Amino acid sequence: MKELLDKILFYVKGIWLKRRYIVIAAWLLCPIGWFYTMQLPDQYRASARVYVDTDSLLRPLLRGLTVETFKDKQLNLMVKTLLSRPNLEKIARMSDLDIHTNNSKEFDALIDSLGKRIKIASTRREKIFTISYENQSKDAAIQVVKSVLTIFVEDTLGENRTDTDNAQRFLNQQIKDFEQRMKVDDAALTEFKRNNADLLPGEGSSYYGLLKQEQSILEQTELQLKEAETRLASARLQLEDEQTIPYFSTPDGNSFNPSITTQYDSRIELMQQNLDELSLRYTDRHPDIIELKKQLSNLREKQTQERTELITLSQQQKQPATEDESPFVQSLRVNVSELESEVASLKVRRQNFQDKVDKLQQKVHLVPQIEAELAALTRGYGITKSQYNQLLERREAAIMSQKAGQSVDGVEFKIIEPPRVPREPVGPHRVIYLTVVTIVGLGVGLFVAFALSQLNPIVTGSRELSSITNLPVLGSISHANADQVIKTRRKHNIAFSAIIAALFITYAGLIVSQSSQLPLLQKMKNLVAMNSTETL
């Protein structure tokens, strides 16, 4: 510990012996630093406070009827993007700061400076934003704050209206697209129903229900036909018992003997069987079926013609029995004629229903596919219509939201403190700068003195001499003119103290001038301004 103290004492003595370099360095550096500090331009801070109200009175009333926009999130996003480069460029032009730049580099430097020096502070609960900016010019500072405030208000309100317009344009375009899709789907569904009308279910019925209904009607018709044929056979037997001739004739010649055969009967029966077999495999439009029906029709016409000729010939050969017949026999003939007409009518009905049943049965394998296609088309049309209706509702909600926003804006700005600049500058902090300059000047002087004491050390005592030579010191001799040496040292100490005191006095004077409410430089500026006014 003693050695450490001795070493520290040695360094202190060395610095003390070189103390003149402390004075030189301090008086060289401090005035320069002080002068530079005093020449720094004043900085004025312009600020404004604004309250943003996002709670509209219409919001609770229009809940569920309009589009809910998240005003708080939108506001926070606008604050974060307020200092983006496009906005900073707009601020520079609005405040006329760009006219002081001569090239793109200077303009970029201006933009960077604006981004760093514009401050936006906010309170989370109260939604109060403070916008501040520092500049050498009061006018420039206040213009920048006004520009920031203007952009903040206009962009927030404009963004909301732009979003609403974009949403309406998008909804209108989507509605047009879905209208076109509905037309296409409707046309496809109508065409499908037209092409498959015989297989599609009607109102409250299905294909299988229709087939079952036709089969039931066919069975009823066949039952009625059998009953009519039974009654006809019975009537014929009764008539045969009442007359002696086996011919059925009426006064008008329309009746004929059913036992009369022609050469076309077997061919007609064979062709009818072939037609029934083909009908089970093909539709009525098949060429073979069409040709077979034509041939069958021709044969039936020939059969009818031949049967008529035979009846006519038979009636010419025999005498009519109607003249000698009793009224009862005549009534039997009328009954037989009516039953024959009924049987013929029922046969036509049976054939008609049989054709319908056969046609439905031939297409039974197509029904599942057709029903699936119909369900798919109906489902697609229903989905498109549902989405179309939803788009219409959303467009109406967007229109109502826009009208509500035009009547009462969703975001309201209230200026608490308009942009203003205090009379006194807020910077630079000259007191701090002056103190730092003074400390640096003295520190440099101490360092120079220490460095020189180490480069050119001086022996100040017997211990140092013994430490340097590693030899014992036997004794020391005092200076012959000790009084004069002491006086000289005292003068040097007084001079050093005076110079250092002058340094600190100067520093203190500068501090006092800067700490006062109105600096000396400001006083001089005011005096100059007053003199100029009096001259005018």
Structural domains of the chain, ranges and CATH numbers in brackets: 2-40+428-535 (no CATH), 44-176+394-420 (3.30.1890.10), 215-372 (no CATH)
Q: How far apart are the first and last CA of the chain?
A: 76
Residues paired with 130 in a beta bridge: 49, 121
Q: What angle do CA 271, 300, 292 make, to 5 degrees?
A: 35
Residue 163: its pLDDT value, please?
58
473 contacts 462 by C-beta, under 8 angstroms: yes
pTM: 0.44
Those residues whose C-beta lies under 8 Å from the C-beta of residue 263, and which sit 6 or more positions away, are 306
Going by C-alpha positions, the residue among 120, 121, 119, 99 that lies closest to residue 110 is 99
Residue 529: its pLDDT value, please?
47
Q: Are strands 128-135 and 119-122 parallel, antiparallel or unpaired?
A: antiparallel
For residue 348, with 0-12 CB atoms within 10 Å meaning exposed, 13-18 middle and 19 or more buried, which class applies? Answer: exposed
Residue 24: its pLDDT value, please?
92
Q: Is the peptide bond before 41 cis (omega within 30 degrees of 0)?
A: no
State the DSSP code for 427: B
Per-residue pLDDT 10s for the chain (536 aa) are 777 787 787 778 878 888 889 999 999 999 999 999 888 888 888 999 988 876 654 454 444 444 444 455 666 777 777 888 888 899 999 888 888 888 989 999 999 999 888 988 887 666 788 889 988 888 888 999 999 888 888 776 655 555 566 767 787 888 888 888 888 888 888 888 777 766 665 544 566 777 788 788 888 888 888 888 888 888 888 777 766 444 444 444 444 445 456 677 777 888 888 888 888 887 877 777 888 888 888 888 888 887 777 666 655 544 444 445 567 777 877 888 888 888 888 888 888 888 888 877 776 667 677 777 877 888 888 888 888 888 888 777 767 665 555 444 456 778 888 888 888 888 788 889 999 999 999 999 999 988 888 887 776 666 666 666 777 777 666 666 767 777 888 898 899 899 999 999 999 998 888 776 444 445 545 554 454 444 43
Q: What share of the chain is helix, strand, coil (3-state, %, to 5)?
A: 70, 5, 20
How far is 308 from 250, CA to CA, in rounded Å? 14
Those residues whose C-beta lies under 8 Å from the C-beta of residue 483, and which sit 6 or more positions away, are none
Residue 314: its pLDDT value, please?
54
Torsion over CA: 360, 361, 363, 367 (sign)? positive
Phi then psi for 128, rounded to 5 degrees? -105, 125
DSSP character string of 164-220: HHHHHHHHHHHHHHHHHHHHHHHHHHHHHHHHTTTTS--TT--HHHHHHHHHHHHHH
143 contacts 96 by C-beta, under 8 angstroms: yes
